[in-house]
Amino acid sequence: MDPHEFEKYRRILEWFKGNPQPPFKIDIELHRRCNLRCLSCSRRASPDYERLNEISKSLEMPLEKWLEIVEEAAELGVKEWHIAGGGEPMFLPSITLAVMKKIKEYGMLGIITTNGSLWTRKIIEEVVKMGWDRIHFSIDGPNEKVHDYLRQVPGTFKRVVRTLDLLNKLKKKYKTDKPMLNMNTVLSIKNYKLLPEMVKFAKKHGIEFMFVEPLIVYSKYGEMLKLKKRHLREFPQYLKKAIELAKKFGINNNFDGLEKNLDLELIEKSSKMNEVVKRDVERLEKLKVKGFLGSFLTVPCYKPWFHMTIKCNGRTTSCDVPVTGGENVKDKTLKKIWYKSEYFRNLRKALRSKKIPEFCAQCNPSHTSQRRRMRLEVLRSLDGRLYRKIKTLYEYKF
Ligand SMILES: C[S@@+](CC[C@H](N)C(=O)[O-])C[C@H]1O[C@@H](n2cnc3c(N)ncnc32)[C@H](O)[C@@H]1O
Ligand code: SF4
């Protein structure tokens, strides 16, 4: 395991041994403005859909506040940042780049998720030069027809491909392997047959990691795009082919290996993820593992022990999903919020007593598959027999 990942696991296990630890990762939403109209997006659920960019302006915190947050987090012991949220980070490049620079000045690991359509040569050059670590490009089809339909703005595919190709060129020019280029794909009825084509696209454009997420339903468009039973019956043949190709090209991904995010249950139950989480806990409880390892294995979610999300208005939560709750960084320090706030303390207490909050229904399937991997990685080093037993539960059945 790489030392960065190891540190995350170490901190979570320390908490379960009774030693509180600082947050490992913070997700930030610098603003909520966007240039695209993606059919699957949670923005589509808003009754104010056409005014979201305008509304964002009245919620956003100033750049100085974000820079202060990064500074405080670095002192607290945060190691990793993810810039995303409910908008397109590069809609406001001056704010986003300033925060990215600050994160790198403190030597923390930086990730950004973007639709890739607003990156100019100047932005790309700056990001390569600052040593930014990783970019997740959201690409939902291997061609213009599918991607531009899903993103609802013509020319989007061409623009993201241009960004990727320019990044690869500039990485070569500056002789650096950073940033790592990842691809995020939302699995839907428009692209499930194209997964093998997506692997070929990844190979052609220098993508090192493919992350595929089953679509979560937020609106009537999401309902239409979610895979139905008939699609699920056909899907394994395309998945199998994609796994073979990814192996052949050496492209790492989250649909093979320990994560297996495209398991049929995860696809079918996206938007009912609380049921999957509950079943996972019940299966693990049956193993009757004792001590801190037992309590670690049977907690429904680990986010409040390593992760914090900060929305554009300063509200904090443990992950992206809850729309309410959480205290505000405008009123309290990160340290107070993390260790002392009612929100985090109550959530940890509820999860320790196996209560699954209602909002978990809308949780990302990948959070479940990442949690499964986390448990497996810990067991692999602590209990080989249990590791093998649990691993077989998550194998694909082709
Ligand atoms: C909301 S976007 C924000 C960042 C940026 N605007 C982008 O599109 O990458 C964050 C991620 O959520 C993904 N996403 C959009 N709709 C989704 C859905 N219904 N289910 C799961 N993920 C979704 C996007 O493709 C993107 O990778
Ligand atoms: S680009 Fe991102 S934030 Fe904008 S509509 Fe698409 S998924 Fe949503």
**Is 83's C-beta closer than 6 angstroms to any atom of ligand 1?**
no
Between CA 209 and CA 220, with CA 215 as vertex, the angle to 5 degrees is 150
What number does the ligand 2 atom closest to the CA of 113 have?
Answer: 2
Return the sign of the alpha-carbon dihedral for residues 279, 282, 284, 287: negative
pLDDT in tens, 285-295: 999 999 889 99
Angstrom distance (rounded) from CA 241 to CA 199: 10
**Nearest atom in ligand 2 to 87's CA:** 3
Q: Is the pLDDT of residue 200 over 90?
A: yes
Residue 323 pLDDT: 77
Over the stretch 311-320, which tens digit does the pLDDT of each residue have? 999 999 999 8
State mean pLDDT over 10-25: 95
Question: Does residue 266 line the site of ligand 1, with CB under 6 A?
Answer: no
**Residues 98/90, Cβ–Cβ less than 8 Å:** no
Average pLDDT (147-156) is 98
Residue pLDDT, tens place only, 118-130: 999 999 999 999 9
Q: Is it the case that residue 309 has pLDDT exceeding 80? A: yes
Say if ligand 1 is within 6 A of residue 133 CB: no
Kindly indicate the confidence band of residue 132, based on its pLDDT and cuts at 50, 70 and 90.
very high
Mutation test residue for ligand 1: of 138, 261, 364, the one with most atoms within 8 Å of CB: 138
Give, using CA atoms, the residue closest to atom 8 of ligand 2: 41
Q: What are 211's strand-pairing partners?
A: 184
Q: What is the pLDDT of residue 322?
A: 83
Banded model confidence at residue 170, pLDDT cuts 50, 70, 90: very high
Q: Which of 44, 92, 113, 220 to mutate to test the pocket of ligand 1 (most atoms within 8 A of CB)?
A: 113
User: Using a 6 Å cutoff on CB, does residue 118 contact ligand 1?
Assistant: no
Q: Whose CA is nearest to atom 14 of ligand 1?
A: 41
Read off the pLDDT band of 13 (50, 70, 90): very high
Residue 256: pLDDT band with limits 50, 70, 90: very high
Structure tokens at 392: 């077989």
> 106: which residues sit within 8 A by CB, 6+ positions away?
70, 71, 74
Per-residue pLDDT reduced to its tens digit, 323-381: 777 899 999 999 999 999 999 999 999 999 999 999 999 999 999 999 999 999 999 98
Q: Give 84-112 pLDDT, tens digit per residue.
A: 999 999 999 999 999 999 999 999 999 99
Q: Is residue 41 within 6 Å of ligand 1 at its C-beta?
A: yes
What is the per-residue pLDDT across 49-93, written as a single tens digit (0 to 9) for each? 999 999 999 999 999 999 999 999 999 999 999 999 999 999 999
pLDDT computed for residue 291 by the predictor:
87
- The pLDDT assigned to 324 comes to 79
Q: How far is the CA of 137 from the centre of ligand 1 (A)?
A: 10
Residue 217 C-alpha to ligand 2 middle, in angstroms? 14
Q: How far is CA 355 from CA 182, 260, 321, 333, in A?
A: 34, 25, 16, 28
> Ligand 2: which atom is nearest the Cα of residue 41?
8
Q: Which residue would you say has higher pLDDT here, 116 or 1?
A: 116
Distance CA 184, CA 208 (A): 11
Ligand nearest to the CA of 213: 1
Mean pLDDT computed over every residue of the chain: 96
Does the Cβ of 365 fall within 6 Å of ligand 1?
A: no
Nearest CA to ligand 1 atom 25: 138
Of ligand 2's listed atoms, the one at least distance from the Cα of 115 is 1
Q: Which ligand is nearest to the CA of 37?
A: 2
Does 32 have pLDDT greater than 80? Answer: yes
Confidence grade of residue 397 (pLDDT, cut at 50, 70, 90): confident
| Cβ < 6 A, ligand 2 pocket | 34, 36, 38, 41, 43, 86-88, 115
- Tokens 């794909």 correspond to what residue? 185
3-state SS, the chain, equals CCHHHHHHHHHHHHHHCCCCCCCCEEEECCCCCCCCCCCCCHHHHCCCHHHHHHHHHHHCCCHHHHHHHHHHHHHHCCCEEEECCCCCHHHCHHHHHHHHHHHHHCCCEEEEEECCCCCCHHHHHHHHHCCCCEEEEECCCCCHHHHHHHHCCCCHHHHHHHHHHHHHHHHHHCCCCCCEEEEEEEECCCCHHHHHHHHHHHHHCCCCEEEEEECCCCCHHHHHHCCCHHHHHHHHHHHHHHHHHHHHHCCEECCCCCCCCCCHHHHHCCCCHHHHHHHHHHHHHCCCCCHHHHHHHCCCCCHHHHEEEECCCCEEECCCCCCCCCCECCCCCHHHHHHHCHHHHHHHHHHHCCCCCHHHHHCCHHHHHHHHHHHHHHHHHHCHHHHHHHHHHCCCCC
User: Would you say the CB of residue 117 lies under 6 angstroms from ligand 1?
Assistant: no
For residue 222, give the ligand nearest its CA.
1
Average pLDDT over residues 143-159: 98
pLDDT at 325: 75
**Ligand 2 nearest atom to the CA of residue 151, by list position:** 6
Supply the pTM of this predicted model. Answer: 0.97
